[in-house]
Structure 1
Amino acid sequence: MRVEGPVKPGLRMECADGRRLVLMQGATPVLFARQRATHRGLHYARTGRYASPFAPLRADRARAVAEFAAPGSAEWSERWAAHAEVELRGAAEGPLHAGEWLLVPDVHRWFKTVNWPKLLTHDPDLGHLTWFGYGDPVEDARDLLPLRALSAPEAPRVKAYRRQYREGVLPPVFAWWISGLNSPVVLDGHDRLTAVLAEGGRPEVLILSRAAAASRWVEFFAARAVEEYEKRVAALEGPLAASRIAHRSRSLADELTSITSGYDLTRAWPFPGGARAWVAAAAAHVPGWAPDADR
């Protein structure tokens, strides 16, 4: 997606000294976070004030898309990505700002099967996300951060989505990659997420991110992948060379797709008043939250 504006979006990351982050929606903080000094993760605090920038999805829309293409297929994902683009472009308090954007499935295989069930049993409003393991609590190694508390599996709206999941028509969850959190957050689909997990399934997720296709590191890694491919293909001989070249070519195509679909750094704006104002805002919106970010 090529987006012409605004320069500063309604839903945006802001930052202050001391690895302090806050996700703002308009003038309202919806998520405070503080990265650990050891780079092993971050502490976060949800304020309970987040509102999805998407209009509610109707069941007839979900069934119409499922009739158009098989859920989980490329065509199905493209149709829902087109729907999300319309919603995001029209949202006054959404994350889009001027630049190039991607909205794609999990091409980088970020989500690990073992981590999905943790969201139903361990998703506190005041919590911690583990980066890279490092011996922290296993339950903190999660791959997706909801921006509000998940509803109960038996909540009426969740039960309706559970029926859609069993029918095979449930829309995807829409997420946004935020590099400062080293995690996607749920933009829309909190109840759909709960419904799929309550049914023992794994959700389809489309991830919004700034596009990295034009950056120098993308050009560097793409050129290196092509150079390695050419060396390996040149060395292939014998009766199986043709099939091996075809295999190498498919692998190169997958690698280049992954590189050019990379997530760029998320832009953050300065938090007005700096670190002192951030501390005061966190105390006002999440009283008692005192993250130990020095270890």
Structure 2
Amino acid sequence: MLRQATQATLLAKIHDDHCGVEYLITGTFRSPIAPMRASHAAVIADADREHWTRRWAHYFATALHAAQHSPLYDGRWLLNAHPTRLEYTPWARSVAQRWAELLLTDNPGEIDWFSRQGGWQVLPLRQLSDPTDGRVKAYRKQATAGILPPVLLWWISSLDCYVILDGHDRILAAIAEEQEPSFMALANTNRQRIGSHSQAVVDRYLAEQQLIPSTATGALAASSRRLARTLNEIDTDYDRTRAWMLPGGSAAWDAVAQARDSAWSDYIDQLIADELRLPRRAGPSGPSGGNSVPPRNFTGTEGDGRADPAPALGERQESALSVQARIPRKKTRIGS
């Protein structure tokens, strides 16, 4: 369950074989970011690309700090303009075709980990507007003018996908104008893991340098570039999203699901009953199995491999927009 203050905004059930997630968007989500003026977006758009990225990162970091219903909790957070976990779609011939695959528009719906070898899609937290809606049209004008603000995403490891925190209409506007949407992706990281992994990589690099002749300047330079890319990937890698136990456990979850959509709740009950009867299917090692992501190639950031400056976001013991774990009816591993 994804809860915003006292409201359940998303309900989800991970398949027992870890091959996907059934979800329901409840329609109660409200963006934690206040509406932004077009004049403010125009001022930021006047900057070059590097400063554009920094300004929007600062804008969203400040807004998340001040937000009443922010997802921030105690820990290290990153804002990155290049989401590293969006599925690669080389076959897509247009922006619209690519986002027809990446944007999860069904409600209720399913995130399919099995056939896709993971999620890596984008899930709206509210019903998307009609393309003819006045707000979408206004944002299309901003897209045409080159001043459309980025969409704010949040990576949730137990879903293995991003959710949209702010910019549901902006992403539609960009797609309608055949422009790849701009993003700021929010994710938490693990300080301890970064330190240990980085040290291991540096140790291997130093050992490798001893084996390369000093005259092989090209090989030495290539080794140094690989080190920089790898350290950047480690520094910007995502940690598992923290979850808090849902008070009342399964009974509380069932009550919320029944109140929100009785047909979907009955479907989930039947799904659980079927899973208890059927033998376990061999599925991918998804986030619910304890890993942060299923196996796949890590793409890192775009450009020269350096991470965009990520402001240090604040620390809170528990967030007002939080993931809550339902106590399972049988003993299974649940990612957080």
TM-score, structure 1 normalization: 0.82
What is the CA-CA distance between 1:238 and the residue it aligns to? 7.4
Aligned partner of 1:125 among 107, 110, 118: 107
What is the CA-CA distance between 1:263 and the residue it aligns to? 1.5
- Partner Cα separation in structure 2 for residue 96 and residue 109 of structure 1: 20
- Matched residue SS, 1:187: strand
What is the CA-CA distance between 1:107 and the residue it aligns to? 5.3
Residue 85 of structure 2 corresponds to residue 106 of structure 1 = no
Aligned to 2:115: 135
1:191-210 → structure 2 map (5 Å cutoff): 191-210=169-188
- Partner Cα separation in structure 2 for residue 251 and residue 110 of structure 1: 22
Aligned partner of 2:41 among 62, 81, 93: 62
Q: Taking CA–CA contacts closer than 8 Å with sequence separation of 6 or more, which of the two structures ends up with the larger relative contact order?
A: 2
1:8-157 → structure 2 map (5 Å cutoff): 22-69=1-48, 73-106=49-82, 108-113=84-89, 114=92, 115-118=98-101, 123-131=105-113, 134-135=114-115, 143-157=121-135
- Partner Cα separation in structure 2 for residue 57 and residue 281 of structure 1: 33
Aligned partner of 1:259 among 209, 234, 238: 234
Residue 163 of structure 2 corresponds to residue 180 of structure 1 = no
State whether residues 173 and 204 of structure 1, in contact with CA within 8 Å, keep that contact through their aligned partners in structure 2. yes
Aligned Cα root-mean-square deviation (Å): 2.2
Aligned to 2:320: none
Aligned to 1:11: none
What is the CA-CA distance between 1:86 and the residue it aligns to? 1.5
AA paired with 2:226? S
AA paired with 1:96? L
Aligned to 2:260: 285
- Partner Cα separation in structure 2 for residue 196 and residue 247 of structure 1: 37
AA paired with 1:126? P
What is the CA-CA distance between 1:109 and the residue it aligns to? 4.7
What is the CA-CA distance between 1:202 and the residue it aligns to? 1.6
- Partner Cα separation in structure 1 for residue 245 and residue 64 of structure 2: 23
- Matched residue SS, 1:288: helix
State whether residues 210 and 264 of structure 1, in contact with CA within 8 Å, keep that contact through their aligned partners in structure 2. yes
Question: How high is the sequence identity, in percent, across the aligned residues?
Answer: 37
Q: Which residues of structure 1 form unaligned runs of 5+? A: 1-21
What is the CA-CA distance between 1:91 and the residue it aligns to? 1.1
What is the CA-CA distance between 1:193 and the residue it aligns to? 0.6
1:30-89 superposed Cα distances (whole Å, 9 cap, x missing partner): 1000111111121100001110011111111111001022xxx33212111111111111
AA paired with 2:107? D
Task: Go from structure 1 to structure 2 and tell me whether the alpha carbon gap of 1:119 and 1:286 turns closer, same or farther (over 3 Å shift).
Answer: farther
1:156-175 → structure 2 map (5 Å cutoff): 156-175=134-153
- Matched residue SS, 1:201: coil
Aligned to 2:209: 233
- Partner Cα separation in structure 2 for residue 107 and residue 39 of structure 1: 24
Equivalent pairs, count = 263
State whether residues 174 and 187 of structure 1, in contact with CA within 8 Å, keep that contact through their aligned partners in structure 2. yes
TM-score, structure 2 normalization: 0.72
Task: Go from structure 1 to structure 2 and tell me whether the alpha carbon gap of 1:108 and 1:233 turns closer, same or farther (over 3 Å shift).
Answer: farther
AA paired with 2:26? T
State whether residues 107 and 258 of structure 1, in contact with CA within 8 Å, keep that contact through their aligned partners in structure 2. no
- Partner Cα separation in structure 2 for residue 28 and residue 109 of structure 1: 28
What is the CA-CA distance between 1:188 and the residue it aligns to? 0.2
Task: Go from structure 1 to structure 2 and tell me whether the alpha carbon gap of 1:152 and 1:107 turns closer, same or farther (over 3 Å shift).
Answer: closer
- Partner Cα separation in structure 2 for residue 232 and residue 146 of structure 1: 45
Q: Which residues of structure 2 form unaligned runs of 5+? A: 93-97, 276-280, 282-336
1:168-210 superposed Cα distances (whole Å, 9 cap, x missing partner): 2111110111111111110000011111112222211111122
- Matched residue SS, 1:210: strand
